[in-house]
Amino acid sequence: MRRFLAPVIFLILFCLSGPHFAVAQALSLPQGTYSGALQAGEAQLHLLLHLSKNANGSLRATLDSLEQGVFAIEASSVAFSNSSLKLEVVSVGARFEGKVSPDRETIDGEWWQGQASLPLKFHRESGAIARKPSDAIFPVEGLWQGAVETHGMRLRFQLHVSHDPEGHLIAALDSLDQGVSGLPANHVTLKDPSFHFEIPSVAGVYEGTLNAANKTMTGKWSQTSADNLPLDFKRSDQTLELRRPQTPAKPFPYVEEQVTFASPGADVTLAGTLTLPKGPGPFPGVLLVAGSGPQDRDASIANHRPFLLLADALTRKGMAVLRYDKRGIGRSTGNLDSATTMDLAADAEAALAFLKSRKEIDSSRLGVLGHSEGAIIAPYLAGHSKDVAWLVLLAAPATNGAQTLLNQSELIGRAGGLSDYQLDASLGFDKAAYDLVRQEKDASALSQKLMALIKDTGLDSALPPAALETQLRMLTSPWFRFFLDYDPLPNLKLVKCPVLALYGLKDLQVSPKTNLPLLQKALQDAGNTRGDVRELPELNHLFQHAYTGTPTEYSAIEETFSPEALALLADWTAGRTNSK
């Protein structure tokens, strides 16, 4: 679920949720570290561009500006196609377009910032980049990689150490898994071999010891409720590997087919993956419907691919599984920005019809699994189609959109340590914004009124312009206008087929305390005696074992989906499909 103006959340670091960025995949992706320089008048800015692959195979880019001491600036979008590399860095209002040489040694292009453009050519750097001035005067200067592991999470840190013009040590810390870069350090001292720094914005303190070769540091990280956690750093240009042990790896013991199908009446072609057990069939079929936002077929989020994992588990149980990119995402056509929940439901109906049309599928044994907003769409399909034989609902909202978002904001705010006063102010702002959305139908006028509200509350100075623009675009979107007052209960009361509904006890986005009893009563009101509604301990909105349940934990947790929850839903689903 999406939410507006998220409060600052505490995990191991305080941070805002990391950005979502679109990527385009291509064969032979350019990877590694490239250096270049922008010549603006007499000033020259040296940049380092770091290109790497995400866990899902897409391209990731970060930039360092050496003279400015700014590191790990995340590109908000990355696209590589036909030797052309395009980057957008909305946090600084910049973009880059360049041609990658066939040998991947250079990237020659233009850098735009505001209305100005400058030529910029990157050259591949061989070996590790020190990322420190050539006149370094302290042995600790350079780039360091390390990780803290606690409460089932692994937080990767990147530490930048250099010196200022007066010859004093300076440092900054990036939390790679929380999307935070450049947290300034103070009290940076080196009393050989002891190294010390503090990050005041998170009340963090590090005490480390350099080895004789100045290539490793062993030490402890202390922060509020997390005292003396082991944290060792290694001098390296390469970030530590992202661990996703549950991600299925090829070769698969089943058939994987790339498919497309039309969504009638919308001029949209949806692209997806159909996985089929080996054998003659016909097989029971399962449709996976993702939650809100720009979700691809794997429901990729926080470098996890939960729908890939679910599809793999269900196909191994003998079911055909269809998952697809939302309209306008991945290889699907259309425009997600103009789509409401009902438009997405129409796309899901088209996906269900596609499954039914396949000769390998037993159309009498079709089920739908939906997560979050997908668990709103799934009951709609079941209530309006005789083709749905069963449902699995994961974190299903049972209140209208406004109440879901307000409840979410309050729970996440409390988990993040906001005071009652701060929570009241935040929720008051949300309610005022929602009222404006309901009252003002003209998008341009609504944007102006929302901006005035933001300025009145001082939030314009708390968020960067790009973040404000993103939030305003969401608030004025057709999706938000519809979702705000959409009530899922009437459709839940139409569901007559078997239902497995699961909630995580630590879900702060769709709280089981609020939603579970409402869903349970809706099934009872429908006379549905085949509903199995459960609350699972220790699990968050993504069904990961979690410490607090806040969204900032999602990417730090190595687990993609609770093995116990995965086994439960796979066994329950198999029980619905094994007999005709």
Interval 186-235: pLDDT, tens: 999 999 899 999 999 888 999 999 999 889 999 999 987 557 899 999 99
Span 142-235 CATH architecture? Beta Barrel (2.40)
Indicate the residue type of 154: R
pLDDT for res 131: 47
- CA–CA gap between residue 124 and residue 30 (Å, rounded): 10
How large a percentage of the chain has pLDDT more than 70?
88
- Upper half-sphere CA count for residue 316 (Cβ side, 13 Å): 14
User: What are the extents of the domains in the chain?
Assistant: 9-124, 142-235, 254-399+487-577, 402-484
Q: Are 261 and 270 in contact (CB under 8 A)?
A: yes
The overall average pLDDT reported for the chain is: 87
For 291-340, how does the pLDDT look when each residue is reduced to its tens digit (9 = 90+)?
Answer: 999 999 999 998 899 999 999 999 999 999 999 999 999 999 999 989 99
DSSP H or E run through 567: helix 563-577
pLDDT for res 10: 24
Q: Of 30, 28, 157, 156, which Cα lies nearest the Cα of 87? A: 30
pLDDT for res 579: 52
For 467-526, how does the pLDDT look when each residue is reduced to its tens digit (9 = 90+)?
Answer: 677 788 889 999 999 999 999 999 999 999 999 999 999 999 999 999 999 999 999 999
- CA–CA gap between residue 354 and residue 357 (Å, rounded): 5
Query: DSSP letter string over 379-417?
Result: HHHHHH-TTEEEEEEES---S-HHHHHHHHHHHHHHHTT
Q: Is 129 helix (H, G, I), strand (E, B) or coil?
A: coil
Q: Report the side by side order of strands in the sheet with 268-277.
A: 254-263, 268-277, 320-324, 283-289, 361-371, 388-394, 499-504, 531-536
- CA–CA gap between residue 199 and residue 544 (Å, rounded): 29
Q: Binning pLDDT at 50, 70 and 90, where does residue 554 land?
A: very high
Q: Are 187 and 170 in contact (CB under 8 A)?
A: no
- CA–CA gap between residue 173 and residue 101 (Å, rounded): 33
Would you say the CATH fold of 142-235 matches that of 9-124?
A: yes
Strands 361-371 and 388-394: parallel
Which of 44-48, 129-133, 282-286, 537-541 shows the lowest per-residue confidence on average (mean pLDDT)?
129-133
Residue whose tokens read 């769409």: 377
Indicate the residue type of 311: A
Q: Are 423 and 401 in contact (CB under 8 A)?
A: no
Task: Give the pTM.
Answer: 0.77
pLDDT for res 379: 97
For 450-459, how does the pLDDT look when each residue is reduced to its tens digit (9 = 90+)?
Answer: 999 988 887 7
- CA–CA gap between residue 307 and residue 322 (Å, rounded): 10
Which of 110-124, 317-331, 337-351, 561-575 shows the lowest per-residue confidence on average (mean pLDDT)?
110-124
May I ask the CATH class of domain 254-399+487-577?
A: alpha beta
For helices 420-439 and 478-485, give the axis angle rounded to 10 degrees. 110
- CA–CA gap between residue 509 and residue 542 (Å, rounded): 10
| Number of Cβ atoms within 10 Å of the Cβ of 540 | 24
Strands (E), 82-203: 84-89, 94-100, 106-113, 116-124, 142-150, 153-163, 169-175, 180-184, 186-191, 194-199
May I ask the CATH class of domain 9-124?
A: mainly beta
Residue whose tokens read 């380092």: 48
Q: Check residue 578 and report its DSSP letter.
A: S
